[in-house]
Amino acid sequence: LEKFDAGNFILVADVQKSLQVLSGHHRKQFSIPVIGITGSNGKTIVKEWLYQLLQPEFNIIRSPKSYNSQIGVPLSVWQINEDHTLGIFEAGISQKGEMKSLAEIIQPTIGVLTNIGEAHSEGFESQTQKLEEKLILFKDADIVIGPGPLLTNIDAEKRFTWGSDVANKIQIVNTSKEISQSLINVKYASEDVSFTVPFTDEASIENCITCISVLFNLGYNKKTIQERISSLHAIDMRLQLKKGINHCTIINDSYSADLTSLNIALHFLTQQQTGQQNIAVLSDFAETGKEDKELYKAIADALKNNKIQKLIAVGAKSEAYLPLFLPASLEMQYYKNTEEFIQNFRTSFFSNATVLIKGARQFGFERIVSLLDAKVHQTVLEVNLNAIAHNLKQFQKALLPGTRIMAMVKAFAYGSGGAEIAAILQFNNVDYLGVAYADEGIELRKMGISIPIMLLNTDESSFNALIDYNLQPVIFSFSLLHQFETFIKEQGLTNFPVHLEIETGMNRLGFSSQEIPDLTVHLQESSFIKIESVFSHLAASEDPNEDAFTNLQATILEQACKQIESVLSYSFLKHIANSAAIIRHPNLQMDMVRLGIGLYGIEVATNKLALQPVASLRTTIAQIKKLHKGETVSYNRRGKVNADATIATVRIGYADGYSRNFGNGIGKMWVNGHVVPVVGTVCMDMTMIDVTGIPGVKEGDEVIVFGEQIPVQQLAAWSNTIPYEIMTSISGRVKRVYFQE
């Protein structure tokens, strides 16, 4: 604890409950109005839009990102201080009994219910039960705003509802959509009022109506509401991590600029630091109620605390104040506006660095992101780093006390990207990483990964890399053992850490049971290696019909370990359980488990964990064609339309990893809320899909190949393979984009 000698520690029985009680007490010290938002969808969007709409009059404290959980809410509310004049906090729940604690923390004076849908329904018996649980948030609120049909159980004098019925405070007369905006006609206080909003999708229109209702309730006039609502913009709540020019890693957080989100973004940068230097590109910040000098001192402190070596600041206030608080050793550039920066942009300034792009919306920093973005084609694999951490925690909960975790990141982390995934795993304190080949381990070491790495497929050509990059080899045969010990002896080394693989029934690699006596004799006499672990691979842990064989494999391993232990003067780790065995065979967890495909959101033969999909493969429509009955599509004329059809060509093919097996209706994709079939043969770079009857489809629209809408397990079933093959087949030319909610 010497690193924290300036801190205080409180020992409690229940950390989460104590944090909630402490945060609730802190909230009671402030009498400012607080808006509490809940609902199935739209909570974060409504919160961010209300922040935009109300910022001119209030100094607002709000939940950062989507911090709406049992831990996120108290952390958010804890940030309230004397300068704030309004709080906006969101509350999310996944099961009955959770909202009471959040209500005691937020203590909203104004309640906002967005909607009730299917999201997070697993923990509730019915939609009615879910609604009742969410409404607990508003028990002591002065006013509750939301859709009329959902607030019938709220006292009439507290309801401020919207909907098509005349009984609502705001009656929705009708809405009409144009190309890029919608017209909402309402009746409020016996007056007909119209609002133009810059969205056409139903969810955004509904969220706009919710925001309009809040502003009316707060006393804003229709002119002010229209002026502000027309300036709303889509919110991307994700910290995007992507590859940039000159071996840079780009963190895109260009939708807002405030102290809370800056600290979150800088914290994310420290997790993902991959380059030799950290660069921040910041715009002026706008925080009502905080003096400029105080604000920019806090910004400068955050930059220094997170070891930013280069700064590009855009805006007059940044140029005026930041130099007062930053050291001369920090390389700084200042520009009056984004246009001036773009005119003077030099790629040489950005090389082998981790670059944070963070700016207020009006600065248009997406143009800077575009300059730094490494250009590839429009098919991308989006990887949710939050989901990796979530899935890891789900498995951690299933472990027996003291059991360690080796996370498998071989095969480019099952196609998801080795270094980026490894950084999250290292940050979340996994004990080991597992890779297949030396070059995978070398890449991780070069990207700053320092935890132990086990190398599964060791050969003589990788021996130098083992020493140079501190990798731990798996030894699976006497020939390999002798080769490696000879090498270690030549290097003048002793006690080099290795892992022994035992053959128990996979019949792939490993020392057989018959070889164990000779192995123990050799180990007893050798000083060149030190056994870190002894392990084996389960052949069918997911199959209930093979449970007897699975238990037999474990018994063979345990017997081998006993023989090896009998001749060594030290202990070693034992492990055999993979993702499926962690859940199906908890008695086989031993000292450590090897977490593989489950980490990436794919459960094998069990649905006991609430895993989240990690990867989403997306592409776009290149062209749309109208075909007549009888015309054919793609090579060999395999695809024939039986009626007039609309065919979209999308930018993905077998060179990207989308197998030819998906051709001729076997595979399907997700377009504008609909599942559509593949037509004809899958080409090298393109695939055709039938979008007949799908409204509003146009060139450039996004198409989801797999993700939440179409699970990767479904693709595997369609093509008669396994999710592992789908994930690892995604080509290296497909751009990986990493994000954190």
Catalytic residue among 410, 658, 668, 738: 410
Best CA proximity match to 577, nearest among 569, 586, 568: 586
What CA–CA distance (Å, rounded) separates 605 from 309? 49
DSSP code of residue 452: -
Active site residue 635: yes
Q: For CA atoms 587, 588, 594, 598, give the dihedral sign.
A: negative
Best CA proximity match to 686, nearest among 447, 379, 418: 379
3-state secondary structure of 429: coil
What CA–CA distance (Å, rounded) separates 709 from 694? 16
Per the CB < 8 A criterion, the answer to whether 555 and 521 are in contact is no
- φ/ψ of 438, rounded to 5, equals -60, -40
What CA–CA distance (Å, rounded) separates 323 from 319? 7
What CA–CA distance (Å, rounded) separates 464 from 487? 9
What CA–CA distance (Å, rounded) separates 431 from 449? 12
What CA–CA distance (Å, rounded) separates 693 from 178? 20
Residue 221: partners with Cβ closer than 8 Å, 6 or more residues away:
none
What CA–CA distance (Å, rounded) separates 487 from 499? 17
Active site residue 410: yes
The burial of 28, by beta-carbon neighbours within 10 Å (0-12 exposed, 13-18 middle, 19 or more buried), is given as exposed
How far, in Å, are 188, 235, 280, 705, 725 from residue 720 at the CA level? 58, 39, 47, 17, 10
Catalytic residue among 304, 562, 608, 635: 635
Checking phi first, is residue 557 left (phi over 0); if not, alpha (psi -120 to 50) or beta?
Answer: alpha
Best CA proximity match to 253, nearest among 390, 338, 263, 420: 263
Q: How many CA atoms lie within 13 A of 130 on its CB side?
A: 22
Per the CB < 8 A criterion, the answer to whether 462 and 439 are in contact is no
Structure tokens given for 543: 């199959």
Best CA proximity match to 401, nearest among 606, 586, 604: 586
Per the CB < 8 A criterion, the answer to whether 34 and 141 are in contact is no
Structure tokens given for 432: 């080991």
Structure tokens given for 202: 């139903």
Residues of 185-201 as b/e, b for ≥16 C-beta within 10 angstroms?
A: ebebeeeebebebebee
What CA–CA distance (Å, rounded) separates 135 from 636? 59
What CA–CA distance (Å, rounded) separates 565 from 568? 5
Residue 364: partners with Cβ closer than 8 Å, 6 or more residues away:
338
| Radius of gyration for the alpha carbons in the chain, expressed in angstroms and rounded | 29
Per the CB < 8 A criterion, the answer to whether 273 and 251 are in contact is no
What CA–CA distance (Å, rounded) separates 103 from 92? 11
Best CA proximity match to 726, nearest among 601, 629, 606: 601
How far, in Å, are 44, 85, 289 from residue 59 at the CA level? 18, 5, 5
Residue 271: partners with Cβ closer than 8 Å, 6 or more residues away:
423, 424, 427
Structure tokens given for 19: 């944090």
Residues forming beta bridges with residue 31, ordered by sequence position: none
The residues carrying an active-site annotation are: 410, 635
